[in-house]
Amino acid sequence: MRAWLFPGQGSQYVGMLRSLVEAFPYAQERLRQAEVILGFELGRICFEGPEELLRQTQYTQPALFVHEAILVELVRELLPATAVAGHSLGEYSAFYAAGVLEFEDALRLVQLRGQLMAEAASHQAGTMLAVLGLEDAVVEELCTRLSSDSEVLVPANYNAPGQLVVSGSASLARAAIDAFRSAGALKVVELAVSGAFHSPLMEAARQRLAEAIAQTPFHSPRMPIYCNVSAEPLHDVTQLREALIAQLTSPVQWKQILHRMYADGIREFVEVGPGKVLQGLVRRTLSDAVVRGIDTAEDVRRLQRP
């Protein structure tokens, strides 16, 4: 069985989407539709950058979703999936791929999500750290011990064995770097993000996003969606809606998703979207899985060749 995986923030790059738009009329039409909905020139930002602009949350998130949604339609019949999952923002692409959200509805939610996250980040200084080489339990215990009523640090992304991203107050996170190193971390890296995503510092954004999600039509999925907050395959529309709302302040259970998919018989994993981040995480987590990626027009053409 095959699963599609959709990447989130950090996978964007200047030049993304260009080859698809130049090669496929469908991609050009979809981008044009997206720009009308968004109210800005998404294509120009994707194609030309600069990187600092593309990296801004309110632009990154729509860029990733549109790139991934276009790829879904280009490869749906060529490389069909039996299940989907998306890493953080990529979960919106998974919902689209499974038929839960229509393109316009998903894009509007993604745009709002990016705006709300950027706004929340501007009000509370936060950041994220990638902690490499420690057991999850050690990182979790340190986060609990270092946090206080005024400053928080929490696990945010369980990416792969020995790779856990933590998120929280900027001052506390930076002060905690030495604590993680003293506990035996091989490496601690502050990520180039604008806020403490997947942490309680996103609560204001979560509340306002929840209102929009509650008013958005959801359809029954055509295939199971392994959701970030539980790593469980969900089919029920009410549960899917709740999972998407909870995701903003909850950790991404990515390693757990991969293990659950594998236990359910999935052996092939296709990263649908820009970059190769998720392919690397699959290889680190599941040693015998078949892994590939679909990103550019050439990747699609390769599937089209007899």
Predicted pLDDT at 280: 97
Predicted pLDDT at 97: 98
The stretch 173-199 carries a mean pLDDT of 94
Angle between helical axes of 203-214 and 237-246 (0-180°, round to 10): 150
The stretch 47-62 carries a mean pLDDT of 94
Q: In the structure, what pLDDT confidence band is assigned to residue 194 with cuts at 50, 70 and 90?
A: confident
Predicted pLDDT at 304: 87
Least confident of 107-116, 189-198, 269-278: 189-198
Structure tokens at 175: 């002060």
Q: Residue 141, Cβ neighbours under 10 Å: how many?
A: 12
Full 3-state SS string of the chain: CEEEEECCCCCCCCCCCHHHHHHCHHHHHHHHHHHHHHCCCHHHHHHHCCHHHHCCHHHHHHHHHHHHHHHHHHHCCCCCCCEEEECCCHHHHHHHHCCCCCHHHHHHHHHHHHHHHHHHHHHCCEEEEEEECCCHHHHHHHHHHHCCCCCCEEEEEEEECCEEEEEEEHHHHHHHHHHHHHCCCCEEEECCCCCCCCCHHHHHHHHHHHHHHHCCCCCCCCCCEECCCCCCEECCHHHHHHHHHHHHHCCECHHHHHHHHHHCCCCEEEEECCCCHHHHHHHHHCCCCEEEEECCHHHHHHHHCC
CATH, range 125-190:
3.30.70.250
CATH, range 2-121+200-304:
3.40.366.10
> In whole angstroms, how large is the CA radius of gyration of the chain?
18
Q: Which single residue is written with the structure tokens 């996103």?
A: 202
Which positions are catalytic?
88, 198
The stretch 133-157 carries a mean pLDDT of 96
Asked if residue 254 lies in contact with residue 63, where contact means CB atoms within 8 angstroms, the answer is no
Whether 125-190 and 2-121+200-304 are alike in CATH topology: the answer is no
Query: Measured between alpha carbons, how far is 130 from 137 in angstroms, rounded to an integer?
Result: 15
266 closest CA partner among 7, 46, 81:
81
pLDDT 10s digits, 73-115 = 999 999 999 999 999 999 999 999 999 999 999 999 999 999 9
Predicted pLDDT at 124: 87
Predicted pLDDT at 106: 98
Cα torsion for 49, 271, 113, 28, to the nearest 10°? 50
The stretch 133-148 carries a mean pLDDT of 96
Query: Measured between alpha carbons, how far is 51 from 188 in angstroms, rounded to an integer?
Result: 24
Predicted pLDDT at 234: 96
Query: Measured between alpha carbons, how far is 77 from 5 in angstroms, rounded to an integer?
Result: 16
Query: Measured between alpha carbons, how far is 83 from 269 in angstroms, rounded to an integer?
Result: 10
Q: Is the backbone peptide bond immediately before 50 cis, with ω within 30 degrees of 0?
A: yes
Asked if residue 275 lies in contact with residue 295, where contact means CB atoms within 8 angstroms, the answer is yes
The rounded mean pLDDT for the chain is 96
Q: Is a pLDDT exceeding 90 seen at residue 193?
A: no
Q: Is a pLDDT exceeding 80 seen at residue 306?
A: no
pLDDT 10s digits, 218-270 = 999 999 999 999 999 999 999 999 999 999 999 999 999 999 999 999 999 99
Q: Which single residue is written with the structure tokens 């757990």?
A: 256
Domain locations in the chain as residue ranges: 2-121+200-304, 125-190
The length of the chain in residues reads: 306
Query: Measured between alpha carbons, how far is 93 from 89 in angstroms, rounded to an integer?
Result: 8
Predicted pLDDT at 289: 96
Predicted pLDDT at 183: 96
The values of phi and psi at residue 229, to 5°, are -75, -25
Structure tokens at 109: 């939610």
